[in-house]
Chains A and B, each alone.
Chain A
Amino acid sequence: MKEVELDCLGEACPVPLVKAQKKLAELEIGDILIVQIDHSCAMKNLPEWARTDGHNVEVEEVGDGEWDVIIEKVK
């Protein structure tokens, strides 16, 4: 089990989402992906996608307008 950080600060929607999708596909079950974003739109569609895809998701606001989306790959 490992933890991977994906820096998407400064990237506009939908780039963070596409990057996260690709990265998550490389990971193994049980791994955790932390996507760092500062685009408010990605804060909505990234967790939404990950949840409908069946992963465990948490969003944490680490600074003003900066979020960590923490995705645990479960399948």
Chain B
Amino acid sequence: MGDEKNTTNTSVSGTTASGSISGIRRSSRTASRKPKKDQILPGLGILVLIVISGFALSFISKTLAFFWITGNVFGFVLQKTRFCFTASMRDPYLTGGTNLTKSVLAALAITTLGFTAIKYGAFINGMPIPGQGFVVPVSLATVLGGLIFGIGMVIAGGCASGTLMRVGEGFVMQILSLVFFIAGSLWAAHDYGWWQLNVIMKGKAVFLPDVFGWFGAVTIQLLIIAFLWIAADKWGKRKAEQSH
């Protein structure tokens, strides 16, 4: 294997070259640490640019400015929390870690409550329920599409949001993912009409509150999420015990 090199054991115990106390004794390379650039000033500059762009966009369209702000905030949260939807589905198998899985489930539970509040609010006030256009039919196509997307995101090293976040972070390899992600999206958008007509519309659209009532729908959805959360928790603990 060419991508590794053995260094001889010249361990100096305790303190590393940089002066930081290290619990693990290691000999090499700490001296070759790269000097870190001060990124506070560029960061502030970018923040100012984001705010100015937000104001500029709000003159064109209020929605556009809103998307700009939510997009930036979402990206910031993703980057800082190392939130990764791919890892949430993959790590239970690969590492036995289920922390991210539980985070995603918690996020889903919060979203469930929030969306129900918005939709139910519109419903009792006799207004059209927003976002009903997104209640689309489910069928085997959903399962198959999920499977293909899952394989793709594990190979590409990130789902849509993860890829975007890491390109912004400066991870060059995933610029390649981004190129093909855009190519694939365009191809899908081009053929979407055919799929819509011949496959997707063959399924049945289900809006849970129509079936179980508003209260029932929320309860059932939250119960399923809670069940998955407990299962993920148990799985994580069992995996941790097995390895000891």
Residues of chain A touching chain B, judged by Cβ–Cβ distance below 8 Å, are 1-8, 10-15, 17-18, 23, 32, 34, 38-41, 43-45, 48-49, 52-54, 56, 58, 60, 62-66, 68, 70, 72
Contacts and interface: CB of A to CB of B under 8 A. Distances in A.
B34 interface: yes
A43 B26 CA distance: 19
Contact of B28 (A3, A41, A49): A3
A3 B27 contact: yes
Nearest to A9: B3
Most buried by B among A12, A43, A58, A72: A12
Interface string B155-176: 0111000100010011111100
A5 B161 CA distance: 31
Contacts of A18: 94
Contacts of B174: 12
Contact of A2 (B9, B84, B87): B9
B170 A23 contact: no
Contact of A32 (B26, B172, B243): B26
B3 A13 contact: no
A13 B157 contact: yes
A44 B133 CA distance: 37
Contacts of A53: 243
B4 A23 contact: yes
B87 A1 contact: no
Interface in B60-76: none
A48 to B, nearest CB: 5
B244 interface: yes
A44 to B, nearest CB: 5
Contacts of A72: 24
A47 B193 CA distance: 45
B154 interface: yes
